[in-house]
Chains A and B, each alone.
Chain A
Amino acid sequence: MAETVRFTLNGRPAEARPGEVIISAAERAGTYIPRFCYHPRMEPVGMCRMCLVEVSGPRGATLQPACFVAVAEGMEVTTGSDKVKKAQDGVLEFLLVNHPLDCPVCDKGGECPLQDQTLAYGPGESRFVEEKRHFEKPIAISDLVLLDRERCIQCARCTRFSEEIAGDPLIDFAGRGERVEVATFPGRPFTSYFSGNTVQICPVGALTATPYRFTARPWDLDQVESTCTTCAFGCRVAVQSSTNRLTRLLGLDADALNQSWLCDKGRFVFESVNGGDAPEAPHESRSGRLVDPLVRKDGELVATSWGEALAAAAAGIRRATEESGAGAVALIGGARCTNEGAYAWTKLAKGVIGTDSVDAQLADGLPGELVLSLPRASVDEACSARAVLVLAGDVREELPVLFLRLRTAALARATTIVEVSPLETSLTRYAAVSLRTRPGDALAVAEALVAEGGAPAAPSHPEGEVVAPDELARARSLLREAGEGQEGEPGTGVVVVVGRPSLAEHEDVVAAAARRLAEALPGARFLPALRRGNVMGALELGMAPGLLPGRVSLDAGREWFAAAWGTVPERRGLGAAGILRSLADGGAGARVRALLVVGADLPDDFVDAALARRALERADFVVAVGGHPGSATDLADVVLPAAVVHERPGTTCNVEGRVSRLGQKLVPPGQAWPDWMIASELAAELGADLGFSSADDVWDEIERLAPVFAGVTRGMLASAEAHDGVVVPRDPGAGSLRAVLPIDPMSTPGVESVERQGAPPRVGLAGPAGAGPAGAGHAGAGRPAGTRRLRLEPAVGGEPVVAPEPGAGLWGSAQTLPVPHVGPADAYSLRLCSTRRLYDAGAAISHSPSLEPLVGRATARANPYDLDRLGALDGDAVTVRSARGELTLPCVADATVPRGVVAVDFDVPAGDGTRNAASTLIDAAEAVVDVRLESVR
């Protein structure tokens, strides 16, 4: 119901939505009302009083805060009367009374709402001759954020953000009256994962971020709109640079996505693009980056030309295929690629070399066939589902802004969260039910959740039940209630967020659980909680065994792609673990001999680091493609320098299947090339022409050949309507266009003028995303009604080849995934649980000087009961021993860890410098990892 409230704005009729506040209705009608504290994504507080307007009422026209007062039918609002002007002038004069006016040395100078609004609405001169209020100039309230209390105008934007949006109020107003200040608690810094947002929304220079401080003047900044690919959530950002160095990222408001917020990792990890120099280092160099192709000569990697390096790479590949067939070459990586890069590498590997042993994931995700075949949910759908079942790691650590969205939705009672996780997570306190499990239990718990009939059996263990039966019963009824009164199959109203609750549990365990849920709840939709940058784009474009580009299985797409490319692998290849096992242990009959590592942190980022290290050492030939030097490049025979994010244009895909554009802001350093170009040139060296001379060419082919992207043309992606991206498969019926105004112009200074000058007002694609029409079953969507079916006319006569439907063959293929057997742990062992942390030892963070110090040190967290049995006290060193390896770590007594479980964070270094401590314990072949703990004393 599109009710409207009619009112009068400055004498002219205007309309508002029911409940809409004056400031917003006026803005939509083209009248900007100045403001400081108002932020449309937060509760209004009406504190700054900058937005006072005259509102007619029973006592005549009175001054009212436009940010707080809702428009009422017949209301008369005047925004420019003398009385309003005097009030605005007065408020600005008051704000400046105690303001230090140190604009020349303030980061905000030049893009400061206080400056701008003073110019537009304020007094020309100051009448204040008294001594100003003094505070100690900037104090560090965390490693990333500084606070200058003299500049603060007490708008409560930052404190409201921390409380309302992030839910970790580590800052709060302290004091009273003129002495009100933003403050942390002594010894408890503002270590929020979302602290950077407070800097962005601060309307003055009170909060500044160390990575940006003093690096640029706003008027020197160039910017481009782009998408953050730090995780797979895909927040929209403005990327800003100065003199070919990145200086800052700002969150843009994408209603369906990040709603203007970013996590600190996404915001500050740009430092790694600059090369990881400390901010004060010379601006020209990007010394931490790979800038030249390298070839190993006499055991040493030496810089060379592209020509020589590509020839060497091609020779190595050719040698392997000639001796042992196409299957002797494998490719790991691709999640850091653009969609275009991923497609080009798939085409090279599967269409030119002819190997299907390609995997963008490092055994840390879920099988590609499964991810692509589950009916997909959008983020908005997850946030408005009757029930959202979270079977994943800690969402705040892995997809931080998804956590913000789910938290907000749960608090607003827009959805009900049911969580299944071995450890307490950040969502636990917002969940209606949180089931504690042990690694390995996922399938049994899924079974218990959907089993027909009465009380299902929860998995049991030597220590007794982990999942409380009454909690399980509540979870069951919440899932059942979600479907009540809804049309459709069982599970309608349920969205499952499925990821990896523990990386020390085989992906097949969770995959089996997800399959069970999908079978029992055919109406449910799934949001994959995969974390790596463009991992979804890589999967969609075929970078996994058994897949071809455009969401089709190898078998279903064979004919089509064979017609288009000439050749396609015969058999399903190996996944990352299989590739590495084959390389490492294949012995004489090894199938895989040469490895292409495309932007992957091998061996350290692999769940089973020992295996990966052995594999790289034993491989005949390794080509590493990447932006930063690392262990893979150290072990490679040929190293090819790649442009990284913000250095190449293209597109990316997020967890929803939302395609959005990446902006290029920098020229790549040295000789670095974009990913698609490296693949093309390597193909050429191998005697094949991929047919691309630009990233645009690649997209055009994707749109033409990859079924799920049909109709998503470059023109569409570049259009103003696609500002928030386009979810595939695109449903043309849902694409109603609507104007989107910049939601908080104060926090994205200048963004509107970039790329959009002269363009029509911003519009976004609204409507449900993801899965296709009902009845598409598990085809991962099906072809939306009205889209044209791709076909290829043969060159000479014969039947045209018709493209498979998106999703073709995937569900069937997912059925063939093994269901692992999880044996019981013996009474002396604890089951290892390893989850990701936002700040890990990965390449991006280790090359970001501001974030690197925030990486924690690995510990062994266990229930005090288990530590007690061991005779270990909190803080004692314990040895954790698995069949794979052993490690000595300080232990932490944590009553929230279930008995019989020990938690070691993933990809976090041990005190002795071991980079990914947990991975030394994990055996990628095992369903679960059982470990023994020994007290070292």
Chain B
Amino acid sequence: MAVTDAPRIVTARLGHDDSHTLERYLATGGYEGLRKALTMTPEAVAAEVDAASLLGRGGAGFPAGRKWSMLRKDPVTYLVVNGDESEPATFKDHLLIERDPHQLIEGVLIAAYALQVTQAFVYVRGEFALGLERVTQALNEAYDYGAAGTDIFGSGFSIDVVVHPGAGAYICGEETALLESLEGKRGFPRIKPPYFPAAVGLYGQPTVVNNVETMSNMPWIVLHGGEAFAGLGEGRSAGTRLFALSGHVRRPGTYEVEMVKTTFRDLVYAPVYGGGVLGDRKVKAIIPGGVSAPWFGPEQLDLPLGQDEVGNAGSMLGSGAITVMDSSTCMVRAAWRITKFFARESCGQCTPCREGSGWLERVLRRIEQGEGREEDVDLLLDVSDNIAPGLQWPPQQTTICVLGPSIPSSIHSAIDMFRDEFLLHVKEGRCPGG
């Protein structure tokens, strides 16, 4: 099993029970990155991030440096950190928010300095009550410590950071919905164009939106240099990355692994990671990047955990959530549950997503409950096709945001890989697995 000796970048401190405290943080090199950044020019800091080839960790995998360079210069600009983490089976940001809030805050401050924004917001999923408490505490401590607020560490740079709670809506993770939510509105994703908040974002001002994990990498990148980060991993997929491993594995949890050098198999079976499948059963399918991602079968286990490697194989690393389903899993049920999630979380703007998700969910439930008809299987595919024309990857869409075209992913995968199982449900009028 390839467990590389890459350093732990964002989870370095988590061995300590008090990793969330300022004392521990300072004792483990905390705020050194910020101090160093403040001695550099903002452009130089941004250049390090660009050199790091850090891909955004929120799902789309867009290079952070590129995104930053698109920020339109305006007197008022914002940095917004996306800590909404609601993609099913994703729980890596949760860890960073609760266990190392100072690292996140430091990352935010570094980014704010590099981007010279006028205010920063950290949007934290409302359900993370403890996380909200910890980030706020950390922020207050950072203010007291002189790391945030006016004239940070005597550098002359000032920045106000506000922690903002969400209130339970998956769609608010979509960056434009998040901005709407932050403006006190319902989380309806904004229609594109403009495609990037970097041009028109919060309150119509240029805005950078980055994920919590993306931000948490900043202190290390500044301290060790972008080159060092880019030296880890391979190709476009630089550095280490957090993977949230769940499902039928012995040791579900969040693991920081070096990209590309590690494979799905490593992650599932290495004793320090997943430790193998429960009951030593066989892997039936894995969801490689959150429920929006098309599934893989066991034959793809040896794919490296790299952005392009997974993309070329027809799926995505997405939010870094990897869910293992073993041979005992009913695939109709799995597809149904995921579709139910989308039906409940569709914001309701776009007709295909709003109506299609509910329709698909009802049909899947019917099949799962043994009341399916044979034609339902093709109906599922055709309805899916009306949401994501062509059912290709990456998907085409008839909707405003990509939640819509994410709905068919699991349905299409399940039917593609396990059509027989669907037909058996229909024929036997029940789940053949029992």
Contacts and interface: CB of A to CB of B under 8 A. Distances in A.
Q: Do chains A and B touch in the complex (CB under 8 A)?
A: yes
Interface of A: 44-50, 52, 62-63, 65, 68-69, 83, 86-87, 89-91, 93-95, 97-98, 127-128, 130-131, 133, 153-154, 173, 175-180
B398 interface: yes
A131 B362 contact: yes
A173 B350 contact: no
B191 A87 contact: no
30 contacts: A46-B400, A47-B349, A49-B350, A49-B352, A49-B398, A62-B396, A63-B396, A87-B386, A89-B386, A94-B351, A94-B356, A98-B355, A127-B383, A130-B363, A154-B349, A173-B348, A176-B169, A176-B186, A176-B345, A176-B346, A177-B344, A177-B345, A177-B346, A177-B347, A177-B358, A178-B343, A178-B346, A178-B355, A178-B357, A178-B358
A178 B398 contact: no
B254 to A, nearest CB: 29
Nearest to B358: A178
Nearest to B344: A177
B154 interface: no
3 closest A-B pairs by beta carbon, nearest first, are: A90-B386, A180-B348, A94-B355
Given A63-B398, A94-B351, A173-B348, 19 more contacts: A47-B350, A47-B400, A48-B351, A49-B350, A50-B351, A86-B385, A86-B389, A87-B386, A94-B355, A94-B356, A97-B359, A130-B366, A154-B348, A154-B349, A176-B347, A177-B343, A178-B343, A178-B348, A179-B348
Interface in B390-404: 396-400
Contacts of B383: 90, 127
Nearest to A98: B355
Contact of B354 (A65, A90, A93, A177): A177
B15 interface: no
Contacts of A95: 351, 355
B193 A52 contact: no
B352 A90 contact: yes
A47, A130, A153, A154 — most chain B CB neighbours (10 Å): A47
Contacts of A127: 379, 383
B354 to A, nearest CB: 6
Contacts of A128: 359
B126 to A, nearest CB: 14
A50 B359 CA distance: 18
Contact of B359 (A68, A94, A177): A94
Nearest to A83: B389
Given A154-B354, A173-B186, A180-B354, A65 B191 contact: yes
A87 B398 contact: yes
Given A47-B351, A176-B348, A94 B389 contact: no
Contact of B397 (A63, A98, A154, A180): A63
A178 B191 contact: no
A48 B398 CA distance: 10
Interface string B9-37: 00000000000000000000000000000
A323 to B, nearest CB: 74
B192 to A, nearest CB: 9
The secondary-structure label for the interface of chain B is helix
Nearest to B193: A69
Contacts of A94: 351-352, 354-356, 359, 386
A130 B380 CA distance: 13
Nearest to A176: B348
A65 B350 CA distance: 11
Interface string B323-364: 000000000000000000001111111111011111100110
A177 B348 contact: yes
A133 B355 CA distance: 10
B191 A46 contact: yes
B217 to A, nearest CB: 30
Contacts of A91: 351-352, 386, 398
A89 to B, nearest CB: 8
A68 B387 CA distance: 19
B348 A175 contact: yes
A89 B382 CA distance: 12
Contacts of B363: 130
A65 B352 CA distance: 13
A36 to B, nearest CB: 8
Nearest to A67: B191
Contacts of B348: 154, 173, 175-180
Nearest to A175: B348
Contacts of A90: 352, 383, 385-387, 398
B72 to A, nearest CB: 19
A93 B386 contact: yes
Of the candidates B355, B379, B398, B400, the one having the most CB atoms from chain A within 10 angstroms of its own CB is B355
Given A90-B386, A177-B348, A180-B354, A130 B343 contact: no
A46 B188 CA distance: 12
B81 to A, nearest CB: 24
A222 to B, nearest CB: 35
A130 B346 contact: no
A49 B398 CA distance: 7
B194 to A, nearest CB: 11
A71 to B, nearest CB: 13
A49 B358 CA distance: 17
A97 B355 contact: yes
Contacts of B399: 49
Contacts of B389: 63, 83, 86-87
A48 B400 CA distance: 10
B188 to A, nearest CB: 8
Contacts of B169: 176
Contacts of A173: 186, 348
A87 B347 CA distance: 20
Contacts of B346: 176-178
Contacts of A130: 359, 362-363, 366
Nearest to A68: B191
Q: Which among A52, A86, A133, A177 has the greatest number of chain B C-beta atoms within 10 A?
A: A177
A91 to B, nearest CB: 5
Contacts of B186: 173, 176
A86 B352 CA distance: 12
Interface string B369-389: 000000000010001011101
B405 to A, nearest CB: 11
A849 B314 CA distance: 65
A128 B346 CA distance: 20
Nearest to A99: B355
A53 B347 CA distance: 23
A518 to B, nearest CB: 41
A565 to B, nearest CB: 63
B386 A178 contact: no
A175 B387 CA distance: 22
A98 B352 CA distance: 12
A178 B351 CA distance: 9
A222 B284 CA distance: 67
Contacts of A131: 362
A95 to B, nearest CB: 6
Nearest to B346: A177
A65 B383 CA distance: 20
Nearest to B386: A90
B170 to A, nearest CB: 10
Contacts of A65: 191
A173 B389 CA distance: 29
Residue in A50, A89, A90, A128 whose Cβ sees the most chain B Cβ within 10 Å: A90
Contacts of A179: 348
Contacts of B193: 69
A133 to B, nearest CB: 8
A91 B387 CA distance: 9
Contacts of B349: 45, 47, 154
A89 B383 CA distance: 11
Contacts of A178: 343, 346, 348, 354-355, 357-358
A131 B193 CA distance: 37
Contacts of B354: 94, 154, 177-178, 180
Contacts of A47: 349-351, 400
